[in-house]
A and B are shown apart, each in its own frame.
Chain A
């Protein structure tokens, strides 16, 4: 037995199975087992609502609420394998809905609440959910306009009640708090997370109940998380981090998680760290850059002595930020690396090793990583140190995606020669530390989120004035990259200020601010291949002022 599979066997044995040897279910691992072990009174979620209201939810209460939600879904005729979507901010209803969905053996898929109607429609059309849980405001703005295109959707559940849907609280109140989870195979589909490629529609990465084994083990190893900790993951629940490390991992470990409804505010964040005596804090480079901008004096006003471990994910954390953490917060910031497809942290600067600022760290226990070069259908592992290649992982860890929903071909393309190919270019140094170089494709990484250029371009092309569109990522001091779109206009349209505003308004309405371009420019000579395909890479090289010689070597330039 290989070292990796031995590690994961051990991690699996540490996880509570369903009583009677009935398999593995995320909801049992995350809440019910703690209740069975006599820890039901521990605080699972400390919710800080907008306006500063606060409520504590115990593991027992969370287990009951999740059971009520499972019973409510069941009464609506929903069962194992059905898809339940959420479009919510950072509210406890998200955790209740996710856990209740897993209890029922249905499949949970969170959407980002800052998506506009188009990204919502694209993802729902692929996964065909029967239920969506959202708020009355988000329903009116994002679901109602596209409802006619969602014939598969049978129920809308609104956390605050209101017209057009069922009332979340009324459903829970009418349902029993007792629910017995049916036998669940560890390989059963539990979660869908959408991610973006360069071309085509978004891809729904499929994760199974066994993923919880990796969520828990990696939280212990990479985040130093312990059951007695107060833990704060700032990620939005609409992305994979908000589920893997905002719901499953902290609950599986048995700690108390902080759930903060409001958006970023430097002073309030430091105050939250102090007031709730946060021990482990998992955040993102964009947030850290905003804290750095807020100045070094601000954190001095707060007592951060409870803080033991800070980690960051989403995009490479620049070395200066790691040093800033040490100097200003009194703790270094530990960068780590993973992606939607890996389901959990793969490479990390952990508590017990030397941090190399700017590096993503070492492969975690149970993970074999290498730098490889694609050669037709095979891959070659690059043995020499510091040589650039694609980051590859040996498949087999429990939170690895099991497919892209209805997209077998795209799934198969991710594997070659016994490796999962991540699409990230990196190097490995003599000590085994990995260093991120860039994406192998044209996907844009903004504020830690992947944005597919095709999705942006499609929305722009839907405007009658636009003939062609190309979206690229341009450097930004806060978000790492932001989306910039180039468009060429149809005859009869003038590139005046009114039209530029109209295009921006159009893109934001369709896509939402998180996906819409932050800049739009007119270009009548978009670079293209001989076959007429727009070359985003060349466009990006021009934008960045790279010398002509460099552009010829860019991937996708021919």
Chain B
């Protein structure tokens, strides 16, 4: 997948959980919960969405690598076959 496709995939998973954020500016570097009303239950749903979209296992220990757009894209591009 290209970088752009990964960005789209992460955004789609985020907005699936929190469609209220779609209209807001998204800072790729800051964590979702820092910049939005996005709680830990939302985060778990977001992870489930990413898992369903990619088929990756996404173990709990990797959660810290998925907390922002930039981190999540970097993580997925490493794990997914290009």
Contact = CB atoms under 8 A, between A and B. Distances in A.
Q: Are A and B genuine complex partners?
A: yes
Interface of A: 50, 114, 116, 141, 263-267, 290, 293-295, 298, 447, 478-479, 482, 501-502, 504-506, 508-509, 512-514, 518
B45 interface: yes
A466 to B, nearest CB: 16
A482 B39 contact: no
Contacts of B45: 518
Contacts of A478: 41, 44
Interface in B15-58: 15, 18-20, 22, 33-34, 37-42, 44-45
Contacts of A512: 37
The 5 closest A-B pairs by CB, nearest first: A505-B19, A505-B20, A294-B60, A508-B20, A501-B19
Given A293-B60, A501-B19, A479 B37 contact: no
Contact of A513 (B15, B22, B38, B60): B38
Contacts of B22: 505
Given A501-B19, A505-B20, A508-B18, A295 B60 contact: yes
Contacts of A501: 15, 19
Contacts of B37: 114, 116, 141, 508, 512-513
Contacts, number: 56
A263 B43 CA distance: 11
Given A290-B40, A482-B41, 14 more contacts: A114-B37, A265-B64, A267-B61, A267-B64, A295-B59, A295-B61, A298-B60, A479-B41, A504-B19, A504-B20, A508-B20, A508-B37, A513-B41, A518-B41
- Scoring B18, B37, B64 by chain A CB atoms within 10 A of each residue's CB, the highest score goes to B37
A509 B61 contact: no
B75 interface: no
B68 to A, nearest CB: 13
B11 to A, nearest CB: 14
A238 B44 CA distance: 22
B62 to A, nearest CB: 10
- Scoring A141, A290, A295 by chain B CB atoms within 10 A of each residue's CB, the highest score goes to A290
A134 to B, nearest CB: 14
B70 to A, nearest CB: 16
A139 to B, nearest CB: 14
Nearest to A50: B34
Interface in B53-82: 59-61, 63-64
